[in-house]
Amino acid sequence: MKNQLFRINIALKPPQNVKNYIVSLSSKLSSMGKAYFILDGKKYSPHITMFAPVISTDLTDKIKESLKKITSNIAPIHCKFVRMESHQGYIGAKIALTSQMLLLKNNIVASVNPFIIMEPPLPYKDAQDYQMKFSNQSLESIRRYGSVAMRNYTPHITISRLEDEKEAKKIAQKIIFKIDNFIVSSVGLYQMETSGTCVKLIKEFFLG
């Protein structure tokens, strides 16, 4: 079988109650404007991205091995909601960055970086698969590391993305997020598609 390139998303996997709540919110937002995607917990899964590079399919097993070692040495992570945010039509819940979360993210990036495709072709060139506008600094981070997260990591849970960016900002300001704290006990290795969506869980790794 010929090796293929695809973008992965290594992400914190929210607990079931948070997942259900995000799916419910995403469904409600879709009735307020035309959405690029609606999270349903099946095809499109709620997540907190840590690293999202482009890799070759033949390296998937090596990445799994690396993630298994890393996650076994990190305890479950406490997450705290900060505020609702909107950017380029995305509506999401910002999560406080903790030292434990940053340690896990840095360990993942250091471990997976040797396997990423440094100069990917279309549709991944210049992160065109995200269907977003990036600053030159962000694009350089993506070219070198496969992710904007290396430059300025801001953990968040995306709820939806609306085509009307101004309306998305208004809606985000009105949302009262009802879960202040939760514990994440696992990391998911996902296949990722356009707009940052996680469409397939390849492997789940439990923390601790």
Give tens-digit pLDDT for 90-109: 999 999 999 999 999 999 99
Measuring CA to CA, how many Å separate 89 from each of 66, 133, 162, 163? 34, 11, 5, 6
Give tens-digit pLDDT for 127-173: 788 888 888 888 877 766 666 656 678 999 999 999 999 999 999 99
CA angle 120, 163, 46 (to 5 degrees): 65
* Closest to 190 (Cα-Cα) out of 12, 25, 5: 12
Highest mean pLDDT among 34-38, 113-117, 131-135: 34-38
Residue whose token pair is 């973008």: 7
pLDDT at 142: 73
What average pLDDT does this structure show over 99-122? 89
Reported pTM: 0.92
Instruction: Compute how many other C-beta atoms are within 10 angstroms of the C-beta atom of residue 22.
Output: 24
Q: Which two tokens stand for residue 159?
A: 């709820």
> Is residue 52 within 8 Å of residue 189, measured between CB atoms?
no
Domain range list for the chain: 5-119+153-206
pLDDT at 145: 62
Give tens-digit pLDDT for 57-91: 999 999 999 999 999 999 999 999 999 999 999 99
pLDDT at 1: 46
Q: Which fold has domain 5-119+153-206?
A: Cyclic Phosphodiesterase; Chain: A, (3.90.1140)
Give tens-digit pLDDT for 37-50: 999 998 999 999 99
Q: State how far the Cα of 16 lies from the Cα of 203, in Å rounded to an integer.
A: 17
> What does the H/E/C string look like for the chain?
CCCCEEEEEEEEECCHHHHHHHHHHHHHHHCCCCEEEECCCCCCCCCEEEECCEEEHHHHHHHHHHHHHHHCCCCCEEEEEEEEEEECCEEEEEECCCHHHHHHHHHHHHHHHHHCCCCCCCCCHHHHHHCCCCCHHHHHHHHHHCCHHHCCCCCEEEEEEECCHHHHHHHHHHCCCCCCEEEECEEEEEEECHHHCEEEEEEEEECC
Query: Is the pLDDT reported for residue 2 higher than 90?
Result: no
Give tens-digit pLDDT for 178-196: 999 999 999 999 999 988 8
pLDDT at 94: 97
